[in-house]
Amino acid sequence: MSSDHRFDQPRASRRFWRAIRRHCPDCGGGPLFHHWVRIVDACPRCGLRLNRGESGYALGGFWLNMLFAEGVTAVLFVGTLVMTWPGPPWDLLQYGLPALALLTPLIFYPFSKTLFLALDLTIRPPERHEHDAAHG
Ligand SMILES: [Zn+2]
Q: How high is the pLDDT of residue 1?
A: 43
The percent of residues in the chain predicted with pLDDT above 90, rounded, is 78
Distance CA 119, CA 136 (A): 23
Distance 65 CA to ligand 1 centre (A): 22
Q: How high is the pLDDT of residue 41?
A: 93
Q: What is the pTM of this model?
A: 0.84
Contacts of 46 (CB under 8 A, 6+ apart): 24, 26, 27, 29, 131, 135
* Domain residue ranges of the chain, discontinuous segments joined by +: 2-135
pLDDT, tens only, 23-75: 999 999 999 999 998 999 999 999 999 999 888 888 999 999 999 999 999 99
Q: How high is the pLDDT of residue 2?
A: 45
Distance 16 CA to ligand 1 centre (A): 13
Distance 12 CA to ligand 1 centre (A): 15
90 pLDDT above the threshold of 70: yes
